[in-house]
Amino acid sequence: MTIRAAVVESKGAPFTVQDVVVGDLRDDEVLVKVCAAGICHTDLIVRDQWYPVPLPAVLGHEGAGVVERVGAAVRGIASGDKVGMTFNSCGRCVNCARGRFSYCLDFFARNFGASRDDGSSVLSRDGVDVHAHFFGQSSFATHAVATERNVVKIETEIPLKIAAPFGCGIQTGAGAVINVLRAPAGSSIAVFGAGAVGLSAVAAARVVGCSNIIAVDINPARLDVARDLGATETIDARTGDSAELVLQSKAGGVDFTLETSGSPAVFRQAVDCLAPTGVCGLIGAPAFGTEVTFDMNTILVGGRTIRGIVEGDSVPQVFLPTLIALWKDGRFPMERIMRFYDFDQIDEAAQDAAAGRVIKPVLLMDD
């Protein structure tokens, strides 16, 4: 079957929509007709080779659509189901057995390897494989091949264009607050970076009842959105040292911080404004080899904790329906960060995202 897919040919190259061929499904695979796909910061840094993903490849890992066919071994998903797609995991390692799927021991290979386990690809062009299976989906395409493990059923009345971005960035920010930090009602949090992940964290902090929700960014328009989503205070990081500004706002420091920008300097600030026994969650993804320094006594004396967070520690089949139910109830209005583009506008959408002109671009596929 011939489909349309956005291919990145080489480091820093544009996304170009072209024809590719989908091969046969394997027994554990699911063919999804993609209706919408969010563009995530991770797609952009992979395009630019911050992470060593082989190219040419079809990226995309926030897809949603309708199941067209399933492999012979698939039992929980059927043709006609509306689904969202999320990250992949093996389901067999010690961490998967503990329900820690985002820390699967084979996580990098299954999400950034851009191939099946045996090195093959379901996509080809002129008889030559094109790297696919990015995050188990490669959803920058009119059809995606996923697995039963990384698709989640969605209620029929939920718009797929809204559900699509929940599969990575939104669940990551919200899960950081709800699943990892487990911020209690009345606690304080500072979120460094008001992109899609940071704003999802802000909205989740309001849901769980944090009393002080501070959003930090250099983009005034994004800080306006943060206030709309629940921030009780915003800080323009261009006006001074962000850690000091947070400490001026919350004497003694905040209970929790999240670093979503991937900047070592910002990471240091997020740790430095923690209250004693406070926890800083690191979400932002820098290039491989990026290092950061801390005053060790800041961490030691105050009993502070630094915690890496991948995909919000989500069990997608449980957490994504929970978030979508919150959206349906009007308590988690993440559509406010979305802007929609036709699939053929993918490179324009990527440029807008990189320039900060849009928070969460969402592609709408056609036939």
Assess if residue 13 is contained within a domain: yes
Domain CATH for 140: 3.90.180.10
- Residue 266: name the closest of 237, 287, 290 by CA: 237
Region 40-52: mean pLDDT is 95
Q: Using only the alpha carbons of the chain, give its radius of gyration.
A: 20
Strand 123-125 relative to strand 128-130, pairing: antiparallel
Assess if residue 324 is contained within a domain: no
Q: Using 50, 70 and 90 to split pLDDT, how confident is the model at 361? A: very high
What is the signed CA dihedral for 278, 282, 284, 285, rounded to 10 degrees? Answer: 160
Q: Is 109 found in the same domain as 17?
A: yes
Assess if residue 279 is contained within a domain: yes
User: How many domains is the chain built from?
Assistant: 2
Q: Is 139 found in the same domain as 72?
A: yes
Q: Is 94 found in the same domain as 190?
A: no
- In this predicted structure, the answer to whether residue 367 has a pLDDT above a threshold of 70 is no
Q: Dump pLDDT digits (tens) for 290-312.
A: 999 999 999 999 999 999 999 99
Assess if residue 316 is contained within a domain: no
At 177 the pLDDT is 98
Domain boundary among 309, 325, 354: 309
Q: Is 148 found in the same domain as 66?
A: yes
Assess if residue 219 is contained within a domain: yes
At 350 the pLDDT is 97
Q: Is 274 found in the same domain as 213?
A: yes
Q: Is 275 found in the same domain as 139?
A: no
Q: Using 50, 70 and 90 to split pLDDT, how confident is the model at 112? A: very high
| Residue 213 and residue 205 in contact, taking contact as beta carbons nearer than 8 Å | yes
Q: What rounded mean pLDDT belongs to the chain?
A: 97
Assess if residue 328 is contained within a domain: no
Helix (H, G, I), strand (E, B) or coil at 102: helix
Q: Is 25 found in the same domain as 152?
A: yes
Where are the strands (E) in the chain, listed by range?
A: 2-8, 15-22, 29-38, 57-58, 63-70, 82-85, 123-125, 128-130, 143-147, 151-153, 188-192, 212-217, 233-236, 254-259, 274-282, 305-308, 338-342, 360-364
At 84 the pLDDT is 98
Region 109-118: mean pLDDT is 95
* Percent of the chain whose predicted confidence (pLDDT) is above 90: 99
Query: What is the domain extent for residue 200?
Result: 173-309
Q: Is 49 found in the same domain as 16?
A: yes
Q: Is 160 found in the same domain as 16?
A: yes
Assess if residue 327 is contained within a domain: no
Q: Using 50, 70 and 90 to split pLDDT, how confident is the model at 73? A: very high
Q: Dump pLDDT digits (tens) for 244-281.
A: 999 999 999 999 999 999 999 999 999 999 999 999 99
Q: Is 287 found in the same domain as 228?
A: yes
At 296 the pLDDT is 95
| Residue 214 and residue 250 in contact, taking contact as beta carbons nearer than 8 Å | yes
Assess if residue 125 is contained within a domain: yes
At 26 the pLDDT is 96
DSSP structure class, residue 131: B
Q: Dump pLDDT digits (tens) for 144-188.
A: 999 999 999 999 999 999 999 999 999 999 999 999 999 999 999
Please report how many Cα atoms fall inside a 13 Å half-sphere around the Cα of residue 152, on the Cβ side: 28
Question: Whole-angstrom Cα distance, residue 91 to residue 42?
Answer: 23
Q: Is 219 found in the same domain as 90?
A: no
Domain CATH for 186: 3.40.50.720
Name the residue type at position 99. Answer: G
Q: Is 69 found in the same domain as 135?
A: yes
